[in-house]
Amino acid sequence: MSILVMKFGGTSVATPDRIRRAAKRVGREVANGHDVIVIVSAMAGETNKLVGYVEETSPMFDAREYDAIVSSGEQVTAGLMALTLQEMDVPARSWHGWQVPLRTTSTHSAARIIEIPTGNIAAKFAEGMKVAVIAGFQGISPEGRITTLGRGGSDTTAVAFAAAFGAVRCDIYTDVDGVYTTDPRISDKARKLDRIAFEEMLELASLGAKVLQTRSVELAMRFKVPLRVLSSFGDMDENAGTLVCDEEDIVESNVVAGVAYSRDEAKMTLISVADRPGIAAAIFGPLSESGVNVDMIVQNISEEGRTDMTFSCPVNQVARAEQAMQAAKDAGEINFHDLVADTAVAKVSVVGIGMRSHAGVAAQMFKALRDEGINIKVITTSEIKISVLIDRKYMELAVQALHDTFELEKPSAA
């Protein structure tokens, strides 16, 4: 019997009525001959409410108890989904992460999956169960405590189950009907993609696209799990949504697949740093230890043994970065004249596997920004992406201009 994994996000299970709607989709797949593993998130808003309770009760909370509390939202949804399916005469039962058991590391609130044994669920399928409803986002540590996988962890749970059970596909149901060439709220020309390569989706997710969690795409690419992103609220169409798949499974594609953006970026520059072997390690080691997520890095030309070092990070980590750099300076590990933070920048990126074999994408991108009078502060590139930092006030204009420049509203051409 083929196994299909279906994941429903918080908005898809926000009310009992929406759970019934999702259950009908599951029932249809059972009627089509699949055994189904359903991964559910907490009902919309529930996790935030539970986090609020924790912070109100204990500002310096025990991370183990935090996980025990916030994981309960998914457990409630799993039980309600199983009951709804049973009312539809579909043999189903719910499973908490520890019952599977989904084994994880001991890092509470940011655990990583170690193993998903298939024996318990496979045995129930053999006995006639048609649907296993799994509480997403959670597992069990080697110490026997409930762990959570971090925000968006239900996506990762779904892909991990699909890999473990050799599922034919993993369907991610959300409040959008697929992956678009850019955010439709910014460009009314944004087009839904029928297919997108794993690598492109991974870049878009890491660069600000909110459709899929980055770790889930990494897992899907590693284990070659076809992912389909589709809406819980649309028609039950077998060809709906966007399929995230191997590059080889895409016959034709545009050079650029999409334009992504990240609004809340900051540009930080260490002015007049000693240009010597090990200076990069002396700067970025303390930043890493302080939990600063550094992205773009640029080092200027050295003059008289001094240089400037620029990097970007999320705007809410600026204070942490400033503290780390000052502490390193006070300890004599680095010496710099000044640290300047620009907290009014945004990152805009173009992504596409076609960039590997097509020259001129950077020139087109930079010309489009020039024509709109947008100054580029920092540039970074990889094999399939180009990212720039610009003034935040020009972000939406830049996204629209790049979308038009690469004619992303048009269907794929050879």
**pLDDT score, position 370:** 97
**Could you say which residues of the chain have pLDDT below 50?**
413-414
Q: Which pLDDT score, from 0 to 100, does residue 152 have?
A: 81
CA dihedral 368, 372, 373, 376 (to 10 degrees): -40
Q: Which residue has the tokens 């939990």?
A: 291
- Other Cβ atoms within 10 Å of 128 Cβ, number: 7
Give the pLDDT confidence score for residue 412 in this predicted structure. 65
> Dihedral sign, CA of 191, 196, 199, 201?
positive
**Cα angle 182-248-411, degrees, rounded to a multiple of 5:** 35
Q: Residues near 248 by Cβ (< 8 Å), separated by ≥ 6?
A: none
Instruction: Say what the pLDDT of residue 176 is.
Output: 85
User: Given this model, what pLDDT does residue 238 score?
Assistant: 67
d(CA 221, CA 216) in angstroms, rounded, equals 9
pLDDT at position 254 is 83
Q: Which residues contact 146 (CB under 8 A, 6 or more apart)?
A: 64, 67, 68, 71, 97, 98, 138, 139, 140
Give the pLDDT of residue 91: 98
Taking the alpha carbons at both ends of the chain, their separation in whole angstroms is: 38
User: In the prediction, which pLDDT does 206 show?
Assistant: 83
